[in-house]
Amino acid sequence: MKNLWGGRFASGVDPLAWQYNASIAIDWRLAEVDIQGSIAWAKALAQCDVLQQSEMDSIIEGLYAVLAEVQSDNFQLQPTDEDVHTAIERRLTEIIGPLGGKLHTGRSRNDQVASDFNLWLQLAIAQVDEFLRILQTALVDRAEKDMGIILSGYTHLQQSQPILLSHWWLSYFWPLVRDRQRLQELKQRASVLPLGSGAMAGTPYPIDRDFLAAELGFSLVSPNSIDAVSNRDAAAEFLFFSALLAVHLSKLSEGLILYSTSEFGFIQLADAYTTGSSLMPQKKNPDTLELTRGKSGTIIGRLTGLLSTLKGLPSTYDKDLQEDKQPVFETYDNLCMMLPVMTGVLESLQVNAQRMQANMNPSILATDLADYLVAKGVPFREAHALVGQAVRLAEEQNLDLSQLPLKAYQTISPMFKEEVYQVFCFETAVEKKNSVGGTSSEAVSLQINKAKQFIDSQS
């Protein structure tokens, strides 16, 4: 097989080995950024007189012709196209002749692919961030729409304390804030230009790398050519960001799956985001949420896979690094489905406030009952023990705390008075949690405003 690097080889590559080595099926999505990088490289070569002005113009014109074919899906891949870089150079040479062979002067595929990947990552980061912004907006919209609805919060999957549903929605907003912050930090680290590092030792031509960085939208140039061609931190960080984001989406999915069951019945998922059973006609399965939960495990696996690839590599570039793009591309594709689907689920679901209210047991006000005793001067630990006795007594009598007679309370402690029954109001309990970050209406309204401010600040 003919290729662009075979001058020192006496025989061709085994067809299976060629197929094994080729990456064109995976890295073709870098085609547009590869052409963008090549246009900038041609300009840099002309600046240092490696190319004449007319040669640069011809090369750039040819590259734009190749770009037009790529964007219109008219680019014809050939069996000899090992990767995206050789495919584009091959096509450029077909269009403008042997002059196309000058483009690669002073450049290696090592610094070329690292630059392409960082360029692509910056575009991918912008797209994922926009999907995250839309999902955050959906959570804030739900918090506003469902304001005033009370349900029981859960710890250890046991009813714990009453909260506003809006507070629950927003508990999934703030992890996405941290995700977006990580994404912006990653964008900064991906904005370092490897181009001009050559294969690993730099380029012998007086290339203006600062010009290249400005031309391609990078903030900095890489300070060390050896590190530049081997650095895949941005790929690993993207996968780590994605894995943690997927964990957050998985937790939200699990909550919605649980609350949509007949046992809870707190929400009803829209038909558009559920499926049926091939056997049981009554089923309405939360498959989209289950897929999100499942894909989180797959994304975590991609992260660990890339880290395992990177951990044992010697200095500079090794072919192992060809394994960097597939997990990142596949993860990106998954996020571009997961995030809009989760947004659609949130926007379309229906809340059953009556079921939430009916499900709450007055025992979740036990802490409020202890606080009632604290207000009378009883130390909290003593109050906790006294209320525990009341809970046990109510259970023995098959009553809830609000039904336990006053005399029974007073057998536990004379500090219990007639007004004790005022404690058993879910609304009052919620409104007392008025500290910053709490579940009262005022605190949640403040939280909604802060959430909106964050979204606006990132737009």
Radius of gyration of the chain (CA): 31
Active-site pick, 156, 278, 435, 459: 156
Residue pair 44/95 in contact by the 8 Å Cβ criterion: no
For 35, which DSSP code? H
| Amino acid identity for residue 236 in this structure | A
First to last CA, the chain: 50
Tell me, yes or no, if 277 is annotated catalytic: yes
Under a CB-based contact definition with an 8 Å cutoff, are residues 347 and 139 in contact? no
Count helices and strands (H / E) in the chain. Answer: 19, 6
Tokens (6 digits) for 145: 């729409």
Of the CA atoms within 13 Å of residue 15, those in its CB half-sphere come to: 1
Task: Write the CA distances from 408 to 370, 381, 420, integer angstroms.
Answer: 16, 21, 12
Question: 156 an active-site residue?
Answer: yes
Taking the C-alpha atoms of residue 324 and residue 338, their distance in angstroms, rounded to an integer, is 22
- C-alpha distances in Å from residue 124, one per residue of 42, 117, 256: 25, 10, 28
Task: For residues 151 and 294, give the distance between their C-alpha atoms in angstroms, rounded to a whole number.
Answer: 28
Cβ(44)–Cβ(104) under 8 Å?
no
Q: Of 304, 338, 336, which is closest to residue 323 (Cα–Cα)? A: 304
Catalytic residue among 23, 72, 115, 277: 277
Q: Copy the structure tokens of residue 267.
A: 């929400």
* DSSP assignments along 329-398, one per residue: HHHHHHHHHHHHHHHHHHHH-EE-HHHHHHH--GGGGHHHHHHHHHTTT--HHHHHHHHHHHHHHHHHTT
Nearest of 253, 267, 241, 292 to residue 172 by alpha carbon:
253
* Distances from the Cα of 33 to the Cα of 39, 335, 446, angstroms: 10, 21, 43
Does residue 1 sit in helix, strand or coil?
coil
What tokens appear for 180 in the block? 């977006």
Q: Is 73 exposed, middle or buried (0-12, 13-18, 19+ CB in 10 A)?
A: exposed
Residue at 31: amino acid letter: A
E strands, 33-96, in order = none
Which residues carry out catalysis?
A: 156, 277
